[in-house]
């Protein structure tokens, strides 16, 4: 139910494994490339509807696109019929012999997933290291390439994890938990419960890597049967990765100075610590860990350096789809003068939590459904230069005009992209294109 990249991939995997697959996608057939391709391959495909009558007792499972709400009438009807409603990771890993490392958290998942994948390329325990999942690569594609001698590092969102039953990563990572996606999960407790699905099937032979900075997260670790490997940048630990005197240690062994880490921000120190914990479990040498952390420039759309001209440095943080992610981005630049571009889908939340972080911002350019709410937050933060525009294409040159030499121009929307874009990647790509065009004009 629901195509996009993961639905398309899991449908093909199920068919390959001799399942009888019916594909339902609410988008019309016209312009629906994935649906047409599956039809050409002989799949039963129903487009333009997700009516409850499309599912009946003859189905064993409904595989749901992670973003579809459980209030959807087809999903509700399936649950009334006691048909399990699951997501792609559950299917993909039921067919996989590869080792699995699962990564979840509110922020930093993509960076941690990428760092772990790069580090495990140097592990003597695996032939190949892959990444997949919420990072943008369907797990169903990757597990068909990965053998029992390989490892797949998988970024798992709360939307994906809620639809899992038997998913069992050998190593699970909980990077952090803040309040977000409550339009989907309704309560913070539900959100946390979905996140904790990552460890619910783990045993004493598995490992649960947990951020030890907050008491809440330490308490959550007690719900896991796995061996706990903590990490922290605010306390010295007896076991795991930690920071002491601006230096990173693992089990009291010096690894590197935090100033050597290429990507900016305190949050990226925490991301590095999480990755080091996993790398050490699989015998990656310090030399290889250091090489990764001193050369890695960050993932696309996550505080990604785009370009510098006329004294301005441009950063793409389109993956900041919530207040917490934008807060992290603003803090990453310390005292540097900031011109911020923000705005996007209105999920019904306010932005008072953003007021304090916004006090670092010199100019703010706002667009999208949340623009008026963000104007209110910017005024409370005493930002004097607040400008509203219609879209991102107008926002980028306006940000350039309002900025000065020495400024950072940062796209960090604090909102989802779906009011004007299909994905946050599409939003980030347009930002990059606008910056490139601006540079040409400048």
Which residues contribute to the annotated binding site for ATP? 105-111
Calculate helix-pair angle for 323-332, 266-281, nearest 10 degrees. Answer: 100
CA-based nearest residue to 306, from 406, 221, 411, 218: 411
Distance of CA 227 to the CA centre of its chain: 25
Contact 307, 241 (CB under 8 A): no
Q: Length of the chain in residues, anyone?
A: 442
Tell me the binding residues: 105-111
Distance CA 365, CA 396 (A): 8
CA-to-CA distance for 318 and 326, rounded, in angstroms?
9
What is the spatial distance between Cα 212 and Cα 229, in angstroms, rounded to a whole number?
Answer: 9
Q: Which two tokens stand for residue 8?
A: 């398309």
14 forms bridges with which residues in the sheet? none
Among residues 336, 358, 324, which one has the least CA distance to residue 409?
Answer: 336
Give the residue carrying structure tokens 């053998």.
Answer: 147
Q: What is the Cα 404 distance to its own chain's centre?
A: 32
Residue 250, strand partner residues: 241, 253
Question: What is the per-residue burial (b if ≥16 Cβ within 10 Å, else e) of 188-218?
Answer: eeebbbbbbbbbbbbeeebbbbbbbbeeebe
Cα gap 161→437, rounded to integer Å: 40
Q: Strand 151-155 vs strand 99-104: parallel, antiparallel, or unpaired?
A: parallel
How far apart are the C-alpha atoms of 301 and 97, rounded to whole Å? 31
């Amino acid at each position: 139910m629901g195509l996009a990249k993961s639905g398309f991939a899991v449908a093909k995997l199920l068919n390959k494994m001799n399942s009888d697959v019916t594909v339902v996608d609410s988008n019309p057939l016209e312009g629906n490339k994935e649906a047409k391709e599956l039809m050409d391959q002989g799949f039963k495909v129903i487009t333009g509807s997700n009516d409850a009558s499309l599912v009946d007792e003859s189905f064993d499972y409904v595989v749901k696109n992670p973003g579809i709400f459980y209030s959807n009438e087809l999903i509700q009807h399936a649950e009334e019929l006691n048909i399990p409603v699951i997501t792609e990771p559950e299917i993909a890993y039921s067919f996989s012999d590869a080792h699995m490392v699962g990564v979840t958290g509110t922020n930093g998942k993509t960076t941690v997933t990428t760092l772990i994948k790069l580090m495990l390329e140097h592990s003597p325990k695996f032939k190949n290291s892959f990444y997949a999942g919420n990072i943008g690569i369907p797990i169903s594609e990757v597990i068909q390439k990965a053998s029992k001698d390989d490892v797949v590092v998988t970024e798992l969102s709360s939307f994906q994890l809620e639809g899992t039953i038997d998913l069992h990563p050998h190593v699970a990572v909980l990077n952090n938990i803040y309040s977000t996606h409550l339009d989907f999960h309704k309560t913070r407790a539900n959100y946390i419960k979905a996140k904790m699905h990552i460890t619910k099937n783990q045993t004493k032979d598995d490992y649960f890597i947990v951020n030890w900075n907050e008491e809440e997260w330490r308490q959550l670790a007690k719900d896991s049967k796995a061996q706990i490997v903590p990490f922290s940048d605010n306390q010295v630990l007896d076991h795991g990765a930690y920071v002491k005197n601006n230096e990173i240690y693992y089990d009291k062994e010096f690894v590197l100075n935090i100033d050597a880490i290429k990507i900016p921000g305190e949050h990226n120190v925490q991301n590095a610590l999480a990755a080091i914990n996993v790398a050490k479990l699989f015998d990656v040498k310090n030399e290889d860990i250091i090489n990764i952390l001193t050369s890695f420039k960050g993932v696309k759309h996550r505080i990604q350096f785009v370009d510098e001209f006329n004294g301005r440095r441009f950063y793409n943080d389109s993956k900041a789809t919530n207040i917490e992610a934008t807060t992290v981005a603003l803090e990453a630049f310390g005292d540097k003068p900031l011109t911020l571009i923000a705005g996007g889908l209105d999920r019904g939340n306010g932005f008072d939590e953003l007021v304090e972080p916004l006090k670092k911002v010199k100019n703010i350019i706002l667009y999208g459904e949340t623009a008026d709410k963000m104007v209110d937050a910017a005024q409370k933060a005493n930002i004097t230069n607040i400008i509203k525009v219609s879209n991102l294409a107008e926002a980028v040159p306006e940000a350039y005009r309002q900025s000065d030499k020495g400024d950072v121009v940062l796209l960090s929307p604090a909102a989802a992209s779906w009011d004007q874009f299909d994905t946050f990647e599409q939003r980030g790509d347009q930002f990059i294109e606008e910056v490139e065009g601006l540079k040409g004009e400048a």
